[in-house]
Amino acid sequence: MSTTNTVTIARQSTRKHRIAVIDGPNMSSLGRRSKKVYGAIGSLDDLKAYVRAFGEGLGVEVEAFSSNFQGEILEFIHESAERVDGYIINPAGLTTVGEGVRHALEDTGRPSIEVHFANISASAGGARGLGGGSINSSFTHTATGMAMGLRQYSYAAALTGLVLSLDDPGFLGEPAETD
């Protein structure tokens, strides 16, 4: 017999934020990739369903987008900037070369959280690390935050952190109220 646990967080707002989750090149191979790094999740569609359900539990709407093509990701960012409150991106195959995507995210003025199934800072063979060792992401220096090494749970961590930061007007740079 299995049980389902419910996670409740204390949000400072009842606003139903809209979060765009972007998965880049090679994420379409999810389910066929290294089980050590990517776990047992069966497909990109399974990941999207997991993230949407988690977002629903937080009281937010998740708009999932994925592509193996940088140009399509750029077009999505440009056309979604006015309707979303923030972004979660797994740049995947664009992690070290996706300067155009990184710049487009920065230009939206919206917060963005970088996610990775693997711990991209781990040495080769390290826990949840990539086979080839650590890599430097071109996204990290302008991202609002980062979650990595937790497989699909990196998305849950990113979504929770992004929602809480959007609820907190002082966190993202708006002036805090004074008495």
Tens of pLDDT, residues 73-96: 999 999 999 999 999 999 999 999
The single-letter DSSP state of residue 141 is G
Check residue 114 and give its pLDDT: 98
Residue 155 among the catalytic residues: no
Are 39 and 32 a contacting pair, CB within 8 Å?
A: no
What are phi and psi for residue 82, nearest 5 degrees? Answer: -85, -15
100: Cα separation from own chain's centroid: 18
Among this protein's residues, is 116 annotated catalytic? yes
For 146, residues 6+ apart whose C-beta sits below 8 A from its C-beta are 113, 114, 115, 116, 140, 158
What is the reported pLDDT for 20? 98
Catalytic residue among 17, 38, 87, 155: 38
Give me the pLDDT at residue 175, please.
53
- Strands across the sheet containing 86-90: 61-66, 18-23, 86-90, 112-116, 145-148
Domains and CATH numbers, the chain: 18-166 (3.40.50.9100)
Instruction: Please report the DSSP string for 55-98 in residue order.
Output: HHHHT-EEEEEE-S-HHHHHHHHHHHTTT-SEEEEE-GGGTTT-
CA dist., res. 27 & res. 22, Å (int): 10
- Give the pLDDT confidence score for residue 1 in this predicted structure: 41
Instruction: Please name the helix (run of DSSP H) or strand (run of DSSP E) that holds residue 140, with its range, or none.
Output: none
What does the pLDDT read at residue 6? 66
Residues 6 or more apart whose Cβ sits within 8 Å of residue 38? 30, 31, 117, 118, 151
Pick out the chain residues at pLDDT < 70. 1-7, 125-131, 174-179
DSSP string, 10-52: --S-----EEEEEE-TTGGGTTSS-HHHHTT---HHHHHHHHH
Classify residue 7 as exposed, middle or buried by CB count within 10 Å of its CB (0-12, 13-18, 19+).
exposed
Q: What is d(CA 140, CA 120) in angstroms, rounded to the nearest whole number?
A: 11
